[in-house]
């Protein structure tokens, strides 16, 4: 591991030297690539330098203890020695985490798709609440939120909603939300006061770029039509809505959230690219049984990951056996504690697997 870290320091120094050259920005693609690599290496290099300094502190304290006779000074040196040893241990663990293989999609924006499952109108109401939960969470992180599709019902629920979250590392955080979310509560329409269980599914997909997926025009049918439902003056007056049909997969995308047909077409193609990219990712994921073992949960969209129990005010994440009694705060977007716990558990599993194969 330490040989690799030394190589990374040399690479980091080479990058910094190249970036300091007056001609560095002449080739913009090269410049962007170097800046990205520099930002990825910086945390590792800084941590490793701190690690080496702490190791040196240990050696210095041990050397001084061999010659120091004053008891008070010896106690002080022993205290510094213990602190340095704790730092080394902590930094060693941090370095192992920083060196874990990185998901190539982690830095991407995400498209999130929420669909009501079992439970009828109650599931649709819960889908709308989970959508609002993610919107509040995204707002707290200063991410941009853009609704791509929404199929609403009259009582304030949503049969489905698809939206994009644009922000640094969005996929690295939101990917832990994929799966089936279950709600247990007494519906407002239930006169007998019985607790019902409903479900929704959440799919979190990394945004696909043009370089990720190429779409053959022969495989696409584009239909334009008048938008329907709630909207501005353009609804039912102009052919602004766009529907894409992808023949090879049968995927149908409908976009009507913008007034302009061109904007709706761009959104529809962005969503289609992401869904096709997601299909490829799922196929690769299914083919890698060993990878699934090293992840939190199986990554299966049908896996029940979390239960929201309203009578008891609790949220339970079944993948990591975490239960929190702050349901109101969670539904208001306070989900960072759950995500942090998932990230920590994921890292612990990967570290364990790495140690087993070492």
What is the distance between the alpha carbons of residues 227 and 163, in angstroms, rounded to a whole number? Answer: 18
| pLDDT the model gives residue 231 | 46
| pLDDT the model gives residue 114 | 95
Helices (H) and strands (E) in the chain, counts: 9, 11
Residue length, the chain? 358
Closest among 208, 39, 204, 210 to 108, alpha carbons compared: 208
| pLDDT the model gives residue 356 | 67
The verdict on pTM exceeding 0.85 is no
Neighbours of 249 (CB within 10 A): 12
Closest among 267, 270, 346 to 100, alpha carbons compared: 346
Closest among 173, 208, 108, 187 to 343, alpha carbons compared: 173
Q: For residue 2, name the pLDDT band (cuts at 50, 70, 90).
A: confident
What is the distance between the alpha carbons of residues 90 and 289, in angstroms, rounded to a whole number? Answer: 32
Q: What is the pLDDT of residues 122-181, one digit of tens each?
A: 999 999 999 999 999 999 999 999 988 888 888 889 999 999 999 988 999 999 999 999
What are 304's two structure tokens? 């029940």
Mean pLDDT of 90-116: 87
Closest among 60, 59, 64 to 75, alpha carbons compared: 64
Strands across the sheet containing 322-324: 144-152, 158-166, 110-116, 196-206, 179-185, 304-309, 314-317, 322-324
Q: What domains appear along the chain, each with residue ranges and CATH number?
A: 2-98 (1.20.58), 110-207+299-351 (3.30.70.1660), 217-283 (3.30.160.20)
Q: What is the pLDDT of residues 190-245, one digit of tens each?
A: 666 788 899 999 999 888 876 567 788 888 888 887 776 554 444 445 678 888 88
Q: What is the pLDDT of residues 243-270, one digit of tens each?
A: 888 888 888 888 887 778 888 888 888 8
């Amino acid at each position: 591991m330490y040989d690799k870290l030394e190589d990374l320091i040399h690479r980091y120094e080479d990058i910094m030297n190249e970036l300091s050259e007056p001609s560095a920005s002449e080739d913009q693609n090269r410049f962007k690539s170097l800046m990205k690599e520099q930002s990825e290496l910086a945390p590792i290099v800084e941590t490793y330098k701190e690690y080496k300094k702490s190791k040196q502190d240990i050696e210095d304290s041990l050397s001084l203890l061999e010659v120091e006779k004053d008891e008070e000074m010896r106690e002080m040196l022993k205290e510094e020695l213990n602190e340095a040893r704790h730092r080394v241990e902590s930094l060693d663990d941090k370095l192992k985490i920083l060196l874990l293989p990185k998901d190539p999609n982690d830095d991407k924006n995400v498209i999130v798709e929420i669909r009501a499952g079992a439970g009828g109108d109650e599931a649709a109401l819960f889908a709308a609440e989970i959508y609002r939960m993610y919107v509040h969470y995204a707002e707290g992180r200063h991410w941009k939120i853009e609704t791509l599709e929404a199929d609403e019902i009259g009582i304030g629920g949503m049969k489905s909603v698809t939206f994009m979250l644009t922000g640094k590392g969005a996929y690295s955080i939101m990917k832990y939300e994929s799966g089936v979310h279950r709600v247990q509560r007494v519906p407002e329409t239930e006169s007998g006061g019985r607790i019902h269980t409903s479900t929704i599914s959440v799919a979190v997909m990394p945004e696909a770029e043009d370089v990720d997926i190429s779409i053959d025009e022969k495989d696409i049918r584009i239909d334009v039509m008048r938008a329907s439902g709630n909207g501005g003056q353009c609804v039912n007056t102009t052919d602004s809505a766009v529907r894409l049909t992808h023949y090879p997969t049968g995927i149908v995308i409908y976009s009507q959230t913008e007034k302009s047909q061109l904007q709706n077409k761009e959104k529809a193609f962005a969503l289609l690219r992401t869904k096709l990219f997601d299909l490829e990712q799922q196929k690769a994921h299914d083919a890698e049984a060993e990878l699934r073992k090293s992840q939190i949960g199986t990554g299966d969209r049908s896996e029940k990951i979390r239960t929201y129990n309203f009578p008891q005010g609790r949220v339970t994440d079944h993948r990591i056996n975490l239960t929190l009694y702050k349901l109101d705060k969670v539904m208001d977007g306070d989900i960072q504690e759950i995500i942090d716990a998932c990230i920590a558990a994921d890292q612990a599993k990967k570290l364990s697997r790495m140690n087993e194969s070492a």
